[in-house]
Structure 1
Amino acid sequence: MSLTPQQQEQFRALAAEIEGIDVEVYQRFERDPLEPIIGLGKPNQRIGFFGRDPGRDEVRHGEPFIGTGGQLVRKALYEHLYDEKMPDFEASRAVGEHFFWINTVPYKPVGNKAWSMKVKRHFHGLMNEVLISRWEGRTLITLGREAFLWFGIGRSKEERARLEAFWQREDRFESSIEVTLEDDRGEAQTFQLYPLPHPSPLNQTWYARFPGLLNQRLEQLDVRKDNLAL
């Protein structure tokens, strides 16, 4: 599944208007810094993953969720689906084809710092459109606080407070919450969010527990080899 040519051009135009894209890393891997890194996947994949932004390995391979944190996710997916250790990098790429992948901003920031709210707002309408128009699934596993609270951008004060309150709950990594998105065309769709911590090795509080928490979510969502598509 790919973006429409119009969406592709819209991303490139939006990217040209901001500062902070890690151009040096894009040049090192001979990649176009205006080209969005969005994994998408087949439109009928039942489960999606919503993360923060691409890193160096994502730029290198032109795929999201393929670096250290993404490998932790993919390893857990592989072991859950096939009940054996993931053999190699190519297997990690292949298992990703069974899921939909998207980020708050599809460009690598300098220093891997989270994008500012201004930049996230800059891309928000188009990211909403991609989520609503390019994917038929409605179940999203969000990775980390930044990704989860992205769903409050442009919403009412009450809606932002509702999401913030959910994130403060002790059981946030076992529970889920419903949100409705609307894009700039007036199209709306409701999604169910299943938050998890960010899978970065720098996230010492949760890194070791992440595979178990993700496996718990996969059980909760009845993810099986014969139940991956709508």
Structure 2
Amino acid sequence: MSDIQELIAQIHQEAQRESFPVDEPIYQEAGLDPLMPILYGGNLASSLCFFARDLGKDEIHAQQPLYGAAGRLVRQGLYRAIYGKDSTNPQELQAILQHVILTNTVPYKPPGNKAYTQAVKKRFRPFIEQFLVFHWQGNNIITLGNEAFNWFEPYAPKGTLKTFFERKDRYSATIEINISAQEEEGKIQERLINLMPLPHPSPLNQKYYGQFPTMLQERLATIKF
């Protein structure tokens, strides 16, 4: 197994250790093991990561993060930023996976549309840390929504992210933080990242949904693909 496949196997093993809420019927519809994680989509060598809350129904069937309605907005924006034009079909949109990593706070789909509890996020945090620090090679992370942004709170001095998020320019400004992960022998390794929050591009997010494509293009203009 490659290193990333070993990490996925470790997550699978942890999921089997003790039960937690998983939307099993959706996995069964897709013919998938509900405890097999869908950790990421994209290119580990990319400079940019999109970090969202958790998986939805469309993501399970596609076995990729950010594949549903919100994901299509992100993918269309990426395609436009990279290729200078709009994509004409879903297959064409897959090209963006060469230039980005897509992942979530937890690599499973919760029942309904409810966020995972802090306890579940904490349980799988070490694996997401390892993914971001040891396997992904970039240093720019665009978070989608408050849950995804707040996941990074433990890596900044107390109150730092809260203060940043209270700024009026939070969706255009960038904050640097050191994320960390523990190696097998116990050594802690750190990586400096640029954290760039955006609102979640859900149609339910009426305040920002219409503005999201423009906000995304402004973020992507600062990234070298």
Q: Which residue of 2 aligns with 1:195?
A: 197
Between Structure 1 and Structure 2, the one with more strand by share is 2
**Correspondence 1:173 to 2:171:** yes
Cα separation, partners in 2 of 1:170 and 1:3, compared to 1, 3 Å? farther
**Correspondence 1:15 to 2:21:** no
TM-score after normalising by structure 1: 0.90
Distance between the aligned counterparts of 1:73 and 1:3, measured in 2?
28
Deviation track 1:29-50 (CA, whole Å, cap 9, x = no partner) reads: 1111111112243222111111
Distance between the aligned counterparts of 1:3 and 1:94, measured in 2?
24
Query: Superposition pairs for residues 116-195 of structure 1, below 5 Å?
Result: 116-153=117-154, 155=155, 159-185=157-183, 186-195=188-197
Question: Gapped runs of 5+ residues in structure 2?
Answer: none
SS across alignment from 1:78: helix
Q: How far off its partner does 1:199 sit? A: 1.0
Distance between the aligned counterparts of 1:133 and 1:40, measured in 2?
16
8 A contact 1:18–1:119 mirrored in 2: no
Q: Which amino acid aligns with 1:12?
A: H
Deviation track 1:56-115 (CA, whole Å, cap 9, x = no partner) reads: 000001011111100000111112222222111111222233111111001011012111
Q: Which amino acid aligns with 2:202?
A: S
SS across alignment from 1:187: strand
SS across alignment from 1:107: coil
TM-score after normalising by structure 2: 0.92
Q: Which residue of 2 aligns with 1:59?
A: 60
Percent pairwise identity? 37
Distance between the aligned counterparts of 2:152 and 2:19, measured in 1?
21
8 A contact 2:41–2:97 mirrored in 1: no
Distance between the aligned counterparts of 2:79 and 2:113, measured in 1?
27
8 A contact 1:22–1:110 mirrored in 2: yes
Q: Which amino acid aligns with 2:10?
A: Q
Q: Which amino acid aligns with 2:51?
A: F
Distance between the aligned counterparts of 1:170 and 1:26, measured in 2?
40
Distance between the aligned counterparts of 1:160 and 1:205, measured in 2?
28
Distance between the aligned counterparts of 2:146 and 2:3, measured in 1?
26
Aligned residues: 219
Q: Which residue of 2 aligns with 1:214?
A: 216
Q: How well do the aligned residues superpose, as a CA RMSD in angstroms?
A: 1.6
